[in-house]
């Protein structure tokens, strides 16, 4: 689930209104850092790790907390609700404290890593739900801040490829996560063997935490006070070591037409995210319970879905050059309807679920970047 704060709307307005203007001499001497982008890329990779874990282990949660599936699904509700609140909180944080984005991102990564490691220790449903809620809250903040920091940092160049790459990184992480956990779900493995996958992925967050923390300490907590320049009622802030742009709200973004358009896009993305997250979370359970897949094989089914999702995200970068956003969205929606129809009609076919998962992943993967 992805959400951008109101600062993104203001930022797009600023970039479009200055595309044909001469850049400031001070900014022209600056060069953007690909190393910084790789840190943000790793951040979205970590988000993908967490998203890909939930599907293959949903039944394991029920075994550990000794609860039926109809109670275990409250974990998914808690994760979705927490992600929604977290993305909103991330937007408010970056708007209220625009110079502390990396600091908040580092703190959120710490809690995301800690809660991932804590999940295997929860043996009752309420503590399990609370830990998942904490994870999703911090993951929502991470999702929002990483996108906003990317847009802000690359505002003076074409940031679209960088943003598309972030979304692709999420798909790569979600693809790798079931592959990591599949060996721990084999029938010959001990019942609690899946714990090691959570601990491993929790530890994989740590290098990312250290990486972002270095930028936060160097560029925010220990940096000199930035110089502020007013340019056509836009507040532009330059740091000594990095180039970032913070934009004050534009009155034009508050027009009724744009507010209505933003509301419709929000509802559309809400429906899209619900379909994507529900499919990724339930496809393993459906294949295991109704098609008698072995748990490790069902994990590979999860991985295939997220692999096609990642391919769609990366291919969307090239397709967006030739096709308009409307054309891409229409193609994606037809693909989603077709793949879902296939799965509904041939719901007892093992081959159909593999084909349908691939087609749905290819169709749904580029919806969010195209809508944005």
DSSP secondary structure of 315-328 = HHHHHHHHS-HHHH
pLDDT at site 37? 86
DSSP sequence for 216-251 = HIIIIISSPPPEEEEETTEEEEE-SS-B-------G
Work out the end-to-end distance of the chain between its first and last CA atoms, rounded to an integer number of angstroms: 13
Q: Are 73 and 201 in contact (CB under 8 A)?
A: no
Is pLDDT at 51 greater than 80 in this prediction? Answer: yes
Q: What is the DSSP letter of 186?
A: S
Query: What are the beta bridge partners of residue 237?
Result: 228
pLDDT at site 32? 62
- Rounded Cα–Cα distance for residues 288 and 180 (Å): 18
Q: What is the DSSP letter of 93?
A: H
Average pLDDT over residues 290-298: 87
Residues 167-201 as b or e (16 or more Cβ within 10 Å = b): bbbbbbbbbbbbbbbbebbeeeeeeeebbebbeeb
Q: What is the pTM of this model?
A: 0.76
pLDDT at site 345? 93
| pLDDT tens, residue by residue, 204-252 | 999 999 999 998 898 877 865 554 434 344 444 444 444 444 444 555 5
Q: Are 6 and 243 in contact (CB under 8 A)?
A: no
Domain limits of the chain? 6-371
| pLDDT tens, residue by residue, 10-21 | 344 334 444 443
- Rounded Cα–Cα distance for residues 225 and 222 (Å): 9
- Rounded Cα–Cα distance for residues 69 and 67 (Å): 7
- The confidence band for 258, taking pLDDT boundaries of 50, 70 and 90, is confident
Average pLDDT over residues 88-111: 90
Is the CATH code 1.20.1250.20 the one for domain 6-371?
Answer: yes
Q: Which stretches of 324-365 are assigned E, i.e. beta strand?
A: none
| pLDDT tens, residue by residue, 107-145 | 999 999 999 999 999 989 999 999 999 999 999 999 999
Give the containing element (helix H, strand E) for 50. helix 34-65
């Amino acid at each position: 689930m992805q959400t951008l704060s109101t600062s993104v709307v203001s930022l797009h307005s600023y970039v479009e209104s200055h595309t044909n203007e001469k850049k400031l001499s001070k900014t022209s001497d600056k060069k953007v850092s690909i190393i910084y982008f790789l840190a943000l890329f790793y951040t979205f990779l970590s988000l993908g790790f967490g998203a890909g874990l939930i599907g293959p282990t949903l039944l394991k949660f029920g075994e550990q907390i000794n609860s039926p599936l109809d109670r275990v699904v409250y974990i998914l509700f808690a994760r979705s609700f927490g992600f929604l609140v977290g993305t909103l909180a991330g937007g408010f944080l970056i708007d209220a404290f625009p110079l502390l984005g990396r600091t908040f991102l580092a703190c959120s990564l710490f809690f995301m890593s800690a809660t991932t490691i804590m999940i295997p220790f929860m043996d009752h449903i309420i503590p399990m739900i609370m830990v998942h809620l904490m994870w999703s809250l911090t993951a929502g903040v991470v999702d929002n801040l990483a996108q906003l920091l990317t847009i802000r940092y690359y505002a003076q160049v074409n940031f679209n490829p960088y943003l598309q790459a972030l979304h692709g990184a999420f798909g790569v992480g979600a693809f790798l996560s079931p592959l990591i956990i599949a060996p721990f779900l084999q029938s010959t493995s001990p019942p609690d063997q899946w714990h090691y996958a959570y601990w491993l992925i929790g530890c994989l967050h740590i290098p990312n935490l250290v990486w972002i923390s270095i930028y936060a300490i160097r560029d925010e907590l220990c940096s000199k006070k930035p110089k502020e320049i007013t340019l056509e009622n836009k507040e532009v802030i330059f740091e000594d070591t990095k180039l970032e742009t913070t934009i004050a709200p534009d009155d034009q973004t508050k027009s009724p037409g744009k507010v209505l358009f933003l509301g419709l896009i929000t509802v559309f993305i809400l429906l899209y995210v619900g379909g994507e997250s529900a499919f990724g979370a339930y496809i393993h359970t459906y294949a295991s319970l109704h098609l008698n897949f072995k748990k490790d094989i069902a994990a590979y089914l999860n991985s295939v879905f997220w692999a096609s999702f990642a391919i769609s995200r990366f291919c969307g970068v090239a397709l967006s050059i030739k096709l308009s956003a409307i054309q891409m969205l229409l193609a994606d929606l037809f693909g989603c309807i077709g793949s879902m129809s296939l799965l509904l009609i041939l719901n007892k076919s093992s081959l159909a679920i593999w084909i349908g998962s691939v087609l749905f992943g290819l169709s749904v993967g580029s919806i969010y970047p195209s809508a944005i």
